[in-house]
Structure 1
């Protein structure tokens, strides 16, 4: 017989998973690649100011940082960044080119060159956000790096142009913008980095223009490459206003592979012909330039991340149309892939393991962890046992969600007590929450607070029809779906109807704020770097990439101005009657702190208990360990006060009835 569990109310269970532990394990590896035989990738460093470190796995199996602090391998192109480094192996050792976050310049670095330090390849700019670079591809034989340049031409966030360029490897452009050669005269608002065909005579890239977002419609463009290295006669070969091309690569035989969703699902094509038509996704939303869902191998096979509601790593044999998934415990692979011979590297996670760098050998079928290996920071018996479920929403529509019930190996709740639950609304909103181990979730569930992550209508992973549910309906469908899941859990006796909360960041912060103004489902909410003022957000108070996003999410302001007033939490702030916590980075270029200031002005005098914590040096998404600790503890304290909990060892958040925005200590 097992040991008897001590009885304590939900929310009062002591847990070894404190906020510092959760913060130390926040983030995941990204941007995998091979440099010669070595696998390289980037990793978060919350304790080092939130920088991203470039890491390599050496021949002896050891891993080491390529660059010391404070070098931060992260681009700000489109603010969300993406593929910020590239490397190649030369006889004298590896050569890496990377974007440094602090100044956004491209640098070249040769780790084997003794006391070498990174040398700049691109100049600084005093205009607007300066010059930014992303998606580099090193062409040693040409002595240059191909990448995307984002160049600001004025002080406004929308005074910007993007173009494919060539940057000399010799450093001659480090102080001379004119030495950066533009590869094509064709202009699109957004472009990805060009990929060179094996014969060196063609290049392919993806482009799109406002008001479309890349998951709405993009164009796949191919151009001839001249002997001088410029592009001519660009032509669109796939895509359009209602077809999203998410990635394109050249196969070794010179054929063009790409992922497009002309059928309603992102599937893989070769020169326009489907390779493995299925009602599942082989691609996703292009939030970051350089994301990769597939990679061709030299032998004609193709590594693919595919699935429906989850991304698995498989090997596709296009000649037979056969697809074999890799072995292992991982249930979710990220949109980052690289290949070298028969080796395939990616980032993978599962319900009991955090994201780690995984390598698959396509010859043997063996998969193994090679970096950022998951190690349980606490006894895994403290983890919840999550379950993916499908709920029914308004009009009978299906809603996908992951339910994480409260769990503690040594405690149980009194008979008859139902647990409090927090609904987590993801950002994007064109995105998806994967079912993977997250110590932020375990921080709550191990204390007796349930969490349900809702992939509401508009989320990716379930086809274009599911994704398009949010067109014109942002602030309606997402809010309804989250509420439907919360109420269903209460109706079936899983959650306490009187102790429901909602939280989310970015677009999830919007969903949280609207949920508090438009429903009576929740007892409180945590609003994190949110969109609060639709009119200002849609009229330039954000960055260029999302400056026309509301055209599809809400509708053009000139046509439906009433929607902007009806749905904006700022305009409906007087409808909030329950306590809330607002968390905001003061350096956020996407959801500006000014929106929070105006929102608090509307709240002032209403008598609604609330708190606002702001964080200097934080942008859109918290990266510093001290910030994440303060935010998590404040959130738990809010729930404790509202739900009547007494979690041990948690500082009390002071709730005010009329507050100014004050930086967190």
Structure 2
């Protein structure tokens, strides 16, 4: 029988260490002949990402020991860091980027004597050095094509990017001039390099400041000469207000692309004279290109196309481009990562559900059978302690729709006293051009199993609901996101779901901005957790971040030269005197996207004003915590903040000293 216990004071088997050990998920699945490979996080090994190999017999192995860390830093968020090719003799050839030096390496795991990986690219003493992403192996040419990011000075914006070819013979390991630059350098950003099946054409995506890739990109096309150079470069799709998120060559040599030209990211066939829609629907077949090498669709040799699609939640479907028919794969998964790969009739992807973490899933299109083949979810505790999400649509200012996932508190061991309403934490996702996925998250379960509800808000500006919904945030960052989160919190209180006096807000990165802006502009929340945030818009716009997002605010807020007052009036740093609620500030000291300097200035502005707060800064952590000890300390501190603020006496409550 469930014990009667106040909300927030419930005992739970889901501890911070358990949540940390399950943080992160498989990424970048790919086929190497009949084998499947992918990367996985290792929080207990300093947060490195390991490369995992699944052999034909189903056995899995981590092919590179610590400290090898298969992760790219291109545009800081990285991208596809490896590629592989099967060979008739000698086993597979693998190329990968190592995080420590960002060099590209070649590795032959089955070679006699197990030789160590050998470098293919040189080091550079300039700025952030040479970085690589999206390797595409072309063994017949003796090359691997990549996105090259090269720093030319010490500033974050002293950088150039090209589509480049790296020789596989290692001749470029000490000779930068041996790298062949392919694209003409006309655009600041390049991604998605793809060589046509017959080797005569190349396609890639390009764009320039101040646009982000979800604002407007161009699909570029070039002829490939007999010498392997690009000729007659031209734009065949996209523009300043049309986002092309991905392009691929079908096996018949036709060019397919995902574009939002109709208000949704749909698929098109791009011909020399016309662009033909393949499945016109008011749902998304792609998403925001935060990481280079994400794949929302992948052509099959049969002419069919595997697609990740949906509104909000996503499914894996098989599209017939000739008829427009779309058939979804069976299974419980509600969220598919943009990590599709194909081999013969097989499709491999990474998927999760509200009852399972991300797994590597294989669909056999010949039989229609889908199965888990890697990183299989195993419940670390009784799933009765998992939250049951409610997919909700709320009404915000001016009658606009707001999408959210509400996770009520629940435990099989406890029930709250009659008449008590639970505390709730509003979660604002990062990005902000992103969304909260509908998946099992043990960080959420950590709170709900203790009696604290969570509501993830896909506020205006989020992806998954079409371009119009995404564009609601243009010029309105710090307004629409704050209003939408507040509307959800107020609605939960009005309907008797949440205790109005025990509401909190939390978020990381752009979500940290929303949390901080909410605490400085409304008295709705009793406290808040602010994680590696943007706090000073002016500082961020004036060189306070990396190149990729250095002009992001032009769209989110407006050009600084034209809207200086808007930058000042919305920045939490400038409004620090308005904050009265307790808060916890969490920051990585190696963060180059949202540097700790902003946190330090914010704390100085709050100091001595009597507002209870705590600041935890973590050495060796960047933008997004990856180490187990960091994640444990951060999660326990967050719970302690809520317990102290909400007046909860919790068993074994972690210590967190709040200063004033």
CA contact (8 A) 1:136 1:193 kept: no
CA contact (8 A) 2:97 2:103 kept: yes
- 1:501-546 C-alpha deviation (Å, 9 max, x unpaired): 0000000000000000001110000000000000010111000000
| Residue 649 of structure 1, aligned match among 647, 652, 657 | 652
Counterpart of 1:259 in structure 2 is 258
3-state SS, counterpart of residue 93 of structure 1: coil
Counterpart of 1:235 in structure 2 is 234
Counterpart of 1:144 in structure 2 is 143
Structure 2 counterparts to residues 311-322 of structure 1, below 5 A: 311-322=314-325
Counterpart of 1:100 in structure 2 is 98
Question: Which deviates the most, 114-123 or 527-536?
Answer: 114-123
Counterpart of 2:24 in structure 1 is 27
Counterpart of 2:53 in structure 1 is 56
User: How far did 1:115 drift?
Assistant: 2.2
3-state SS, counterpart of residue 588 of structure 1: coil
3-state SS, counterpart of residue 392 of structure 2: strand
Alpha-carbon distance between aligned partners in 2 of 1:409 and 1:647, rounded to the nearest angstrom: 17
User: How far did 1:6 drift?
Assistant: 0.7
Counterpart of 1:660 in structure 2 is none
Q: CA RMSD in A?
A: 0.6
CA contact (8 A) 1:134 1:193 kept: no
The answer as to 2:365 corresponding to 1:362 is: yes
Counterpart of 1:185 in structure 2 is 184
| Residue 638 of structure 2, aligned match among 629, 635, 638 | 635
CA contact (8 A) 2:126 2:151 kept: yes
- 1:326-381 C-alpha deviation (Å, 9 max, x unpaired): 00111110111000000000000001001110000001000000111100000000
Alpha-carbon distance between aligned partners in 1 of 2:192 and 2:434, rounded to the nearest angstrom: 22
CA contact (8 A) 1:525 1:579 kept: yes
User: How far did 1:186 drift?
Assistant: 3.6
3-state SS, counterpart of residue 86 of structure 2: strand
Alpha-carbon distance between aligned partners in 2 of 1:187 and 1:172, rounded to the nearest angstrom: 27
CA contact (8 A) 1:184 1:232 kept: no
Counterpart of 1:195 in structure 2 is 194
- 1:33-82 C-alpha deviation (Å, 9 max, x unpaired): 00110011000000010001000111111111111111000000000001
Counterpart of 1:298 in structure 2 is 301
Counterpart of 1:220 in structure 2 is 219
Alpha-carbon distance between aligned partners in 2 of 1:635 and 1:647, rounded to the nearest angstrom: 13
Alpha-carbon distance between aligned partners in 1 of 2:231 and 2:577, rounded to the nearest angstrom: 57
- 1:1-26 C-alpha deviation (Å, 9 max, x unpaired): xxx21100000000000000000000
Structure 1, unpaired ranges of 5+: 658-665
3-state SS, counterpart of residue 12 of structure 1: coil
User: How far did 1:586 drift?
Assistant: 0.2
CA contact (8 A) 2:48 2:70 kept: yes
TM-score when scaled to structure 1? 0.98
CA contact (8 A) 1:206 1:219 kept: yes
User: How far did 1:296 drift?
Assistant: 0.3
3-state SS, counterpart of residue 253 of structure 2: coil
Alpha-carbon distance between aligned partners in 2 of 1:574 and 1:335, rounded to the nearest angstrom: 42
User: How far did 1:184 drift?
Assistant: 2.6
CA contact (8 A) 2:161 2:185 kept: no
Alpha-carbon distance between aligned partners in 1 of 2:314 and 2:85, rounded to the nearest angstrom: 28
Alpha-carbon distance between aligned partners in 1 of 2:66 and 2:655, rounded to the nearest angstrom: 34
User: How far did 1:650 drift?
Assistant: 2.5
Counterpart of 1:469 in structure 2 is 472
Alpha-carbon distance between aligned partners in 1 of 2:8 and 2:153, rounded to the nearest angstrom: 51
The answer as to 2:59 corresponding to 1:72 is: no
The answer as to 2:84 corresponding to 1:87 is: yes
| Residue 405 of structure 1, aligned match among 386, 394, 408 | 408
Alpha-carbon distance between aligned partners in 1 of 2:415 and 2:221, rounded to the nearest angstrom: 62
Structure 2 counterparts to residues 476-491 of structure 1, below 5 A: 476-491=479-494
| Residue 438 of structure 2, aligned match among 435, 445, 448 | 435
Counterpart of 1:17 in structure 2 is 14
3-state SS, counterpart of residue 486 of structure 1: helix
The answer as to 2:113 corresponding to 1:110 is: no
Structure 2, unpaired ranges of 5+: none
Alpha-carbon distance between aligned partners in 2 of 1:212 and 1:360, rounded to the nearest angstrom: 36
The answer as to 2:166 corresponding to 1:167 is: yes
Alpha-carbon distance between aligned partners in 2 of 1:106 and 1:623, rounded to the nearest angstrom: 22
3-state SS, counterpart of residue 445 of structure 2: helix
User: How far did 1:384 drift?
Assistant: 1.2
Alpha-carbon distance between aligned partners in 2 of 1:125 and 1:41, rounded to the nearest angstrom: 28
Alpha-carbon distance between aligned partners in 1 of 2:32 and 2:565, rounded to the nearest angstrom: 54
Alpha-carbon distance between aligned partners in 1 of 2:114 and 2:424, rounded to the nearest angstrom: 54
TM-score when scaled to structure 2? 0.99
Alpha-carbon distance between aligned partners in 1 of 2:621 and 2:2, rounded to the nearest angstrom: 42
User: How far did 1:320 drift?
Assistant: 1.6
Aligned residues: 654
Counterpart of 1:123 in structure 2 is 122
User: How far did 1:310 drift?
Assistant: 1.4
Alpha-carbon distance between aligned partners in 1 of 2:110 and 2:653, rounded to the nearest angstrom: 48
Alpha-carbon distance between aligned partners in 2 of 1:115 and 1:209, rounded to the nearest angstrom: 44
Counterpart of 1:661 in structure 2 is none
User: How far did 1:168 drift?
Assistant: 0.6
CA contact (8 A) 2:108 2:114 kept: no
- 1:85-116 C-alpha deviation (Å, 9 max, x unpaired): 00001121011000000000000000001321
| Residue 376 of structure 1, aligned match among 376, 379, 393 | 379
Alpha-carbon distance between aligned partners in 2 of 1:193 and 1:379, rounded to the nearest angstrom: 42
Alpha-carbon distance between aligned partners in 2 of 1:135 and 1:206, rounded to the nearest angstrom: 12
- Structure 1 stretches of 4+ with a deviation exceeding 6 A read none
CA contact (8 A) 1:146 1:193 kept: no
Counterpart of 1:46 in structure 2 is 43
- 1:373-425 C-alpha deviation (Å, 9 max, x unpaired): 10000000011111110000000000000000000001100000000000000
3-state SS, counterpart of residue 136 of structure 1: strand
